Amino acid sequence: MIVTSNKGKFLEYYQLFRENGFELKHYNLKYPEEQLGSIDEVARRSLYYLTGIIKEEFFIDDSGLFIDSLNGFPGVYSSYVQSTIGNKGILKLMRNETNRNALFKTSIAYYDGDIHIFNGETRGLISTEERGKNGFGYDPIFIPYGEEMTYAEMETIEKNRISHRYKAAMELMNYLKKKKI
Ligand code: IMP
């Protein structure tokens, strides 16, 4: 089961899990996210908090966008920055910047009696304008390396072939498959 109040995240995971023969349940719940030093720590802390409430196996996803020329900003502040200055604010900050390299990271924290962390990273470029209507959050300004389109110009199935979330989800599903044997 995934615990998230973000419908976009759930849909991506739902598709990835289905493709791999897993059925994924959704618990739509907003939970506290402390601003700690890394997304792994944020995910671990939130998961730990939720283990006091949820009594079955579940996972959460904490993700962040790390922009090279901004020394990794917004990073662990990605959620706050998205809801305050948003994509337009990021583009403004980077108006005359030629180094547009960035990294999207996902940390999955999974609980099955113990806490496990799985990671995924995708490098890319920050576009010069917002493009595309799909996805959520920073999708309209992130172009994965080797692609022309932003995440928001891709269908979920295409984003799910290359994304930071896909890579972390594969790590989790490999663990789940091994556990089944
Ligand atoms: P969260 O803390 O993992 O929910 O995400 C931090 C911020 O990054 C939120 O504003 C999300 O909308 C955004 N975000 C997380 N994952 C993605 C993604 O795959 N694409 C674009 N934005 C994302």
E strands in the chain? 2-3, 26-27, 58-67, 101-111, 115-126, 142-144
pTM for this model (two decimals): 0.95
User: What is the C-alpha separation between 137 and 48, in angstroms, rounded?
Assistant: 25
In this structure, the residues whose C-beta lies within 6 A of any atom of ligand 1 are: 6, 33, 61-64, 78-79, 82, 135-139, 151, 165
pLDDT at 179 over 90: no
**Window from 2-6, 128-132, 149-153, 177-181 with minimum mean pLDDT:** 177-181
For residue 82, give the ligand 1 atom closest to its CA: 10
Ligand 1 mutation target, pool 4, 45, 63, 131, most atoms within 8 A of CB: 63
Encoded tokens for 119: 């990671």
Q: Which domains does the chain have, with CATH numbers?
A: 2-180 (3.90.950.10)
* For the chain, percent of residues with pLDDT exceeding 70: 99
Contact (CB, 8 A) for 144 and 95: no
Ligand 1 mutation target, pool 4, 78, 164, most atoms within 8 A of CB: 78
For residue 62, give the ligand 1 atom closest to its CA: 3
Residue 30's pLDDT is: 92
How far away, in angstroms, is 78 Cα from ligand 1 center?
A: 7
CB burial of residue 145 (10 Å; 0-12, 13-18, 19+):
exposed
pLDDT at 181 over 80: no
pLDDT at 108 over 90: yes
Over residues 101-109, the mean pLDDT reads 98
User: What is the C-alpha separation between 176 and 174, in angstroms, rounded?
Assistant: 5
For residue 159, give the ligand 1 atom closest to its CA: 19
Mean pLDDT of all residues belonging to the chain = 96
Over residues 30-55, the mean pLDDT reads 92
User: What is the C-alpha separation between 6 and 156, in angstroms, rounded?
Assistant: 15
Over residues 32-40, the mean pLDDT reads 89
3-state secondary structure of 113: coil
The answer to whether residue 62 is catalytic is yes
